Amino acid sequence: MKKVGAKPFKTVFPGCEQFYGNEDSYFTCIARAAVVTIFHPVGTAKMGDPRDPTTVVDPQLRVKGIKGLRVVDASVMPTITSGNTNAPTIMIAEKAADIIKQTIHCSSDEYSSYGSDVSSYGSSDSSYGSGDSSYGSAELIQLAMDIAAERAYPTPLANSTLLPFLLLSLSTNRNAPRTSATFKKEYDYIIVGGGSAGATLAGRLSEESCVSVLLLEAGTGKPPLLSDVPGLDRSFLFTKIDWQFKTVPQRHTGSALISRQVLYPLGKGLGGSSLLNGMLYIRGNHKDYDNWEAQAEIKRSSIPLGYHAVGGPVTVERPEYKAEMSDPIYEAAQNEGYDILDSNAARQTGFDVLQATLRNGQRCSTSKAYLVPAENRTNLDIIPEAYVRKVLIQNKKAVGVQFDFQNATYEVKAGKEVIISAGATKTPQILMLSGIGPKEHLQEFGIPVVADLPVGNNFQDHCGTLTPYELDPEIPTTTEKIQNPQNIIEYIDSRTGPLASASFLSIMAFLKAQLVSPSVDYPDHEIYFLEAPIEYPEQQVGYKREIFEAYYGPYMNSSLFLCMSQHLRPKSRGTVRLNSSNPYDAPAIDPNYFQDPDDIRPIIDGCEQFYGNEDSYFTCIARAAVVTIYHPVGTAKMGDPRDPTTVVDHHLRVKGIKGLRVVDASVMPTITSGNTNVPTIMIAEKAADIIKETIECSSYEYSRYGSGDSSYGSSDSSYGSGDSSYGSGSDES
């Protein structure tokens, strides 16, 4: 102000003379004498839950109790926005147009009769009381369900005045299918688990209209709409859409963690871990699959595509956000001779340009990708909150499942197959509760042994350690970026900005130890460069309070940047075991991190490349506080059925049990070199192709679908039957 000669008036405001000299009282007097409005009136037709007596319009801006009438302007704002109101008002109108357009279904007759009063009350899905759009109906695109329910999740936006508008903007892109509360006594295929693999498989198998499919999911069928916002992903760990598991105390690491246990979040709900993962699209290295081919005696398929396909259900995008450190890191990497590349293309070693499972800037879970398009199929029933207790097995054949639903226990028959897709921790638990697993372990809990198989062995996971950095004070923290009204409005308007980031990850790198030949494209460690809230190590890694305060305490008000180094192909092998015969008890998860001391070396290499050569220091940190990347695999190992370490064959059929398959990350013989969500979806896609080859639809089968008269043993996918027996030359995977 001094630079332009600005000076306050020397005259005193009339009527406030007695307060002059006391600035607080003086300006209070002026404000009371002559208020100035900014002309931003809002709120006089308040939007909200129609059951709230203070509201005038519902989340779709319809006037309560009056059909065919909406309010679309600043009147509907529940609370005023933090800034000028013109842009938010335009946003409301844009969103209202989208909502109304969804109710318009034009035909040639409607075009010709334009202007005529042909629509009667109740015929539109936007009127109150008409079918599934009535107040309280689960089908109402409810401002992202119920605002109160969304606020219950611990996101940084829980108390934002812009939350209703963000939810409204998300509500037109549904993230979950319509589900059912009723089911038949028998289906051709029963899929246990609606996660990354199960949702994919249900969507694909139900494409065959002559077969019936039941999908059972233990978690919710309606995840929070805010879980669709990529930058909020960490907010949903340890909530009701997470199993909230912990490992058993670790022997070789964990001294800095509470009880030496590693927190182990895994998705619970339709979409599974694709509901709350970091959304990274990484297929792994081609050598991973070459190794599978060699180990599991599988044959590769010939696919006439390049490195990227087009048109699939799961959409892939580059996140529309660049962090402050992105360009400097890329520049430094290039100066050191590293390539900037697409790790899903010809080469993997180098610094990656991020790809994520996003659709128009929102999370693309497998529920959204595979189940929403399939929700109207009459041959598919999707039952959430159905907790499977065990597979029913008679005479070495899976004949159905037993599950709890709405305070009762049911048994449903499977005419063809039961398929377990519950993930690498829950799948072995369900198999063991069904009598399939290590004989001595099952006998400990009095479970009758049906098949003595190494279920729960071969557990593998990516793990690593954190190297924190403090950023310049002018760089906002991740929480500040999320809560910034301008960033929220940017995301609402264009799906860009910090909220569009994939887990606030800036860059990834796939690198290898110096002793590996430069010509070999098989990196052994992966590095994440990401922003994170300062609370992350304590709340989501599980640091002891005293360790956290000593190490991170001085930086509590700082913006944090993490370098996370992980080993891509650990040698250590862990287990999943039962804690009891109660299906509601969590399984005993023991990753056995660093059981093989060689697993630390790639992690240390990753830290030293960006922090300095301090070998002993980083070894100490890794042994004190391991960080899991939540990529459990391998607990129902696929391979040659003559191999005593395998659980399923190359068609994913459980050895010795007819009509039972496992389709999820459990079957991986070895972990892939990168995030495991996309390889898991690939497994489900391939399993669908394998199973479809056993389906032969006839006119009779089309006409009798769902009548419940399919008999046990009708599937040709049983062992020893024709061309699907072990060792046949036509098998592919």
Closest CA to 732 of 200, 421, 202, 293: 293
CA–CA–CA angle 91, 92, 93 (5° rounding): 90
Report how far residue 137's alpha carbon sits from residue 129's, in angstroms, rounded to the nearest whole number: 9
Give yes or no for a contact between 135 and 128, defined as CB atoms under 8 angstroms apart: yes
Structure tokens at 534: 């300062």
SS (H, E, C) 416-481: EEEEECCHHHHHHHHHHHCCEECHHHHHHCCCCCCEECCCCCCEECCEEEEEEEECCCCCCCHHHH
Kind and range of the H or E run holding 204: helix 196-205
Alpha-carbon separation of residue 128 from 83, 143, 167, 453 (angstroms): 34, 15, 21, 56
Quick check: helix, strand or coil at residue 73? coil
Give yes or no for a contact between 215 and 202, defined as CB atoms under 8 angstroms apart: yes
- Helix, strand, coil % (nearest 5) of the chain? 30, 15, 50
Report how far residue 454's alpha carbon sits from residue 441's, in angstroms, rounded to the nearest whole number: 10
Report how far residue 88's alpha carbon sits from residue 165's, in angstroms, rounded to the nearest whole number: 9
Establish whether 631 is a catalytic residue: yes
Closest CA to 13 of 39, 37, 36, 32: 32
SS (H, E, C) 106-118: CCHHHHHCCCCCC
Give yes or no for a contact between 19 and 29, defined as CB atoms under 8 angstroms apart: yes
What DSSP letter does each residue of 670-720 carry, written as one string?
A: S--SS-SHHHHHHHHHHHHHHHHTT----HHHHHHTTSS-PPTT--TTSTT
Kind and range of the H or E run holding 590: strand 588-590
Give yes or no for a contact between 143 and 165, defined as CB atoms under 8 angstroms apart: no
CA–CA–CA angle 205, 670, 718 (5° rounding): 40
**Residue tagged active-site, from 525, 631, 650, 651:** 631
Report how far residue 379's alpha carbon sits from residue 210's, in angstroms, rounded to the nearest whole number: 8
Closest CA to 388 of 435, 366, 414, 420: 420
Quick check: helix, strand or coil at residue 561? strand
Closest CA to 46 of 32, 37, 58, 34: 58
Closest CA to 384 of 187, 222, 544, 151: 222
Q: Looking at 274-344, list the stretches that DSSP marks H as alpha helix, in order from N- to C-terminal side.
A: 286-296, 326-335
HSE value, Cβ hemisphere, 13 Å, CA-based, for 136:
3
Report how far residue 491's alpha carbon sits from residue 485's, in angstroms, rounded to the nearest whole number: 10
Strand partners, 627: 464
Report how far residue 687's alpha carbon sits from residue 668's, in angstroms, rounded to the nearest whole number: 13
Q: At which residue do the structure tokens 């960490």 appear?
A: 234
Quick check: helix, strand or coil at residue 574? strand
What DSSP letter does each residue of 337-394 carry, written as one string?
A: TPPEE-TTSS--SEEEPP-B-EETTEE--HIIIIIGGGTT-TTEEEESS-EEEEEEEE
Which residues participate in catalysis according to the annotation? 631
